[in-house]
Structure formats: C-alpha cells, structure tokens
Structure 1
Amino acid sequence: MIEPPPTGPPPTGPPAPPFDEPRARALLALACAAAGLPDPAGARLLALGENAVFDLGRPALVAKVGRARELAPRAAREPALALWLAANGVPVVRPHLPEPVTAQGHPVTFWHRLDPALRPARAADLAPLLRTLHRTPPRPAPPAPLPRRELLAPVGRWLRAAEGYLDPADADYLLRRGADRAAALAELVPQLTPGVIHGDALPRNVHVGADGPVLLDLETVADDLREHDLVVLALARDRYGLPAEEYLAFTRAYGWDVREWAGCAVLRGAREIASAAWVAQHVPGSAAAAAEFRRRVASLRDGDRKVRWHAF
C-alpha cells in the first residue's frame, strides 16, 4: 500500500545546510577521500536534483551525491540492483563500488562513466528498455526485496526543504491532495501484471551509446504497477510539451497506451502532485523554481490541464 505523505510537524533541531553546488562538492571531496579516489577539484557538475551528479574526469567515473540523508536506503540498494538487472539482460549503467560511501550522512555512489552519447535519447528509445525490464523474471531473486513505488511519500520532505520560502497554503494544499490521491492509488486495479519497474521512466534517464540505449538512475526501481513506468510519458505529453508524434512512437514501440487504462487519471494525478512538490526543494535561492512551483500548484488548484509546465 502506498502511504500518504507525512503531514506532521517537521523534525526539530538545527536546519541542514542548503544543498547547493558548493555543499555537494564538499561532500563529494569527503566521499572520494574515503573511497581512495583522487581529489575531485576538477569534477564537472552534470545535474542538481535529488542527487548532485558529477563527472570526475579522471578516473572515468560519475558520482551521485544524495541531497538528503533519507536517500541512504535507496542508494544502498542501487549498485546491487544494477548488477542484478544486468544479469537479467537489462542494459543498465554499472557501479564502480558495490555500496555507497557516506559523507556526513549523505550517500554517495560511484558509477563507470559511459562513452559519449551518440545523440539525445528519445521517447522511443525508452520503450524497448521498459519492455525488457517489464519481462524481468522474479528469479533469480533480486539482491534485496524490492520496495513499492511510494510516489507520494517524499512530498512532505520536499516541502519541508523549502519551509519559509513557500506559501503555507500551497504546501498544505499539496499535502492534503496527496493524502487523498494516496487512498485512491491503493484501490487501483492494474491492467498489466505488476512486477519490476524503473520508477522514473523518462528519456533523460536513458543514454544512447554505440551499443544501444542504456537505463540510468536506478534509485526508484521497485516492485509495483507497470503502469507507473508508462504514465510518466503520458504526463510529459500533457504537461511538458512532449510532441504527440513522439508519444505515439513510444506507445507503438512498447505495444500499449496507458491512457486506455481506467486507472490512468488517478495515477497521472498522483504523478502531477509529486512533480509539483519536487520543485519545492529547489525554491530556496531560486526565483525560477519559486515561479515554477507556483505555476504548477495554481494549475492543479484550477484543474487546468492545459497549463504548460517547464522542466526544472
């Protein structure tokens, strides 16, 4: 069962330092020292979201620094899951170390850097990867029991990360809406057989190299409704401007359009709530994130599905 996001007061104690690039670099330096890797002074920042992702240059590794200490359990699963998926024929990125390094409580994982991409990934590149993943057998068993895809569970954490920067009414609205939607999620009847899913199936989590597409970012691999992996692109079509022809190419390559499923609106709505709350953690210090957060919440309040959301 998917639990509703927490609604209680935030934990007491001194506030955590803001997770920005300087903070992420400091944590990366600690992790590299602990792992016996060279000083990462020249590391190149690739992304700053739930993780700060760095290209270390030499050695040919990529490091992911977890934004929050609460991400440690899923970071601990990810390297072993990558090896398990690869053994089951799923093209995935490979870990450099079998488990994370901890830097002041933040998990840091190290991965072999892939060769340069031949081109940006498209929606159709994701479809065969998901077909392979969704056929992954339950045996041999994964290295640890897979969790459910608790899509709404982080909503409270994301909102608390921006406490004092958000309109409290907006935060309360997302918490209440998320709790209502969590109850509806628990009642969904899937059309596909549940099983292994990626959990955040977007083209940005695919690398197209000389040997074909490879799946990245395996933190949210779970055992749940396969529809989770398909509704992501349905939402991208509706909210983020994914061209209709690209979405059609994806559904044709996968072999099914999740919008035909009776539960699509419920699952899509839950993903919208999570996507709106996700932006909140970027609001401190970012006027663009604050504006995007307000845009998303206002469109949810108004029930306006035509409002375009901007990737952040």
Structure 2
Amino acid sequence: MSQAPAPELGAILAAACRRAGLSADGAQLLSAGENHVYRLAGGAIARVSKPGQGQAAAREVFLGSWLNSNGVRAVRPYAALEVEQPVVVDGNPVTFWHDLGEHQPGTPREVAAALKQLHSLPVPGEMVAPVAPFVRLEERITAAAWLADGDRAWLLARLEELQEAWTGRPRGLPDSVIHGDAWAGNVVGTAEGVTFLDLERCTIGPPEWDLTSTACRVTSYSTLSAADYDDYCDAYGLDVTRWDGFDLFRDIRELRVTCYAVYRAQLDPTLRSLAATRVACLRGLNGPRPWHWEPLG
C-alpha cells in the first residue's frame, strides 16, 4: 500500500508534523488498520493512533528506546523532534519513528531467536502494563452490525467463557517482557538485523502468549509447515503446543484474529465473507483444525 493520507487524517498528520518540526508534504500511507502509518520525507515514519490511545502511544515510545538500550533491536523513536512524543492532535496521538528501510518478514528461526532474547530481559520498572488478551474484543463484536444475531451471541458467549478460563490459566514460564503480537510481519529482517515492529501490545506476561502466535500458524491456519515450526521450536528451545495451557491460549488467539476480521469487515464489506468463514470455523461449522483462511489483505 502506498498512497496519500486519507482526507480525514491529513489535517491531523500535518498538524502533528508542524509541531514536531517535520513536514507532511508527500506523505505516503503504508498501512491502515488499528493505526495509520505514513512514510515522511527525510527518513521518518509517522503513526497516527485512534483517540484515547495516548497512554499506549507513550508506552510504545518508551519501549522503543528501552529495548534498543537493552540490546534488543526494535523500531526507534525519531530523535530529531522539537516536542515530546506522542504529539496529540484532536485526541489522536501521533508518534514518529526512524524508517527501517527495506525489510522482510522474519523467518521462523529468526522470530524464535528474537523472542528468546526479548523474554530474557529484566522487567522494566515503569511504563509497562500486564498483558490484556481481551482488549477491545467485546466492542468489536457489538459494533459489527453486519454480523448475524446468532454469530454475535455466540462470539460474546465465547468471549465470556475464555475470560473466565483465563483467570484460572495454567502457569508455565515466569512472566517476562513479551511482544504480544509476535508474528513474522512484526519481527522483521533488516540490514541491521532482526527487528521488532508494532510495540502496541508489548507488555508483561507469560512468554507462552508470544509463542502461541506462531504455533497457531500450524495448528489453526495451515500457513506454516511442520518443518518450519520444528525450526522455530529448535531456535527457542520449547514447543508450546506440548504445554497444558496451549489450548486455552490458542483459543484466545483464534478469537482475537476473528474479531479483528469482524472489525475490518464492518469497515470494508468486501471482507465480510472472509470474516464470516472465520466465525464459522470457530463455531465448529467448517470441520476440525487446521482451517484454511484467506488473508484479509
């Protein structure tokens, strides 16, 4: 994706750039989802978040600096600014980052090795919240007017069931710094080495939560081969699917992915058949795992 800012965000981006001493002229939209990410002239990336996400944006900036100072490569907050981050315009927090340049999704071995390093860090004493696996799920389900009533009721009941199970979840590895959304698109290969992107979900929690993201690519979605998963487990030193809490973590991950599809489909009707397929799979209407899910794009 490479296009100009959406009109409703153009003024916000321009105002934030002016306050930061940067220019929004020629800004190119790189991705639009939870946040809108733009490439600016001069080697900066701007990330425009939704209103109410100021605390999360400030935490991302802190973590970007903290991780790099502790030997873990991650996106770096843009240093040459005239104001502190985030810059808040009309309630929208905007953060600025150094452009990584050319990069590609991390291999399973690279993702696992990066996570092993991340999980070994000492826990910082500030700015990091405990993992919140159910954040925004209820809102996404209830806001999806296109969903059939039966599907909405099932998703809400499933959410309640998993929330209750989470409170009594099995304990595994000691809690650590975790990325929270550690798939290959967020752990990428760059000229400088493997680098973590998208620190929005970086929190304190069970390392197994990170490991389950890749395991689901084998057990749930069939997007990773058994050989590649063996590589992943070898690099980390653990196969999370053998842990007695895996089924719960897998089920929550599947619900999160499905609710994201439901949210995207509310905004883009062309995605509704893909989102409906995900809901049907969770409801047991499309046979056993692993399922085949087309990417949302």
Q: For each residue in 1:252-295, what CA deviation from the matched residue of structure 2 results, as whole angstroms up to 9, or x when unmatched?
A: 11111100100000011011111111112212342332112111
Structure 1: segments with no counterpart, 5+ residues: 1-19
Identity %: 34
Deviation at 1:194, TM superposition (A): 1.1
Aligned pair in 2 of structure 1 residues 22, 257: CA closer, same or farther (>3 Å)? farther
Give the alignment partner of residue 35 of structure 2, picking from 51, 63, 72. Answer: 51
In the alignment, which residue of structure 1 is the partner of 2:65?
Answer: 83
Does structure 1 residue 311 correspond to structure 2 residue 295? yes
Q: Which residue type is aligned with residue 91 of structure 2?
A: G
In the alignment, which residue of structure 1 is the partner of 2:51?
Answer: 69
Counting matched residue pairs gives: 285
Deviation at 1:240, TM superposition (A): 4.9
Tell me the distance in 2 between the aligned counterparts of 1:301 and 1:116: 40
Matches within 5 A, 1:65-214: 65-66=48-49, 68-96=50-78, 98-117=84-103, 119-138=104-123, 141-144=124-127, 146-162=128-144, 164-214=145-195
Structure 2: segments with no counterpart, 5+ residues: none
Give the alignment partner of residue 246 of structure 2, picking from 255, 258, 264. Answer: 264
Give the alignment partner of residue 217 of structure 1, picking from 174, 198, 206. Answer: 198
Aligned pair in 2 of structure 1 residues 281, 120: CA closer, same or farther (>3 Å)? same
| Secondary structure of 2:172 counterpart | coil
Deviation at 1:308, TM superposition (A): 1.3
In the alignment, which residue of structure 2 is the partner of 1:229?
Answer: 210
Q: Which residue type is aligned with residue 65 of structure 1?
A: V
Q: Which residue type is aligned with residue 264 of structure 1?
A: F
Conserved 8 A contact 1:120-1:208: yes
Structure number with the bigger relative contact order (C-alpha 8 A, sep ≥ 6) is: 1
Conserved 8 A contact 2:222-2:290: no
Matches within 5 A, 1:269-280: 269-280=251-262
Name the Cα RMSD after superposition: 1.9
Tell me the distance in 2 between the aligned counterparts of 1:37 and 1:240: 43
Tell me the distance in 2 between the aligned counterparts of 1:274 and 1:64: 22
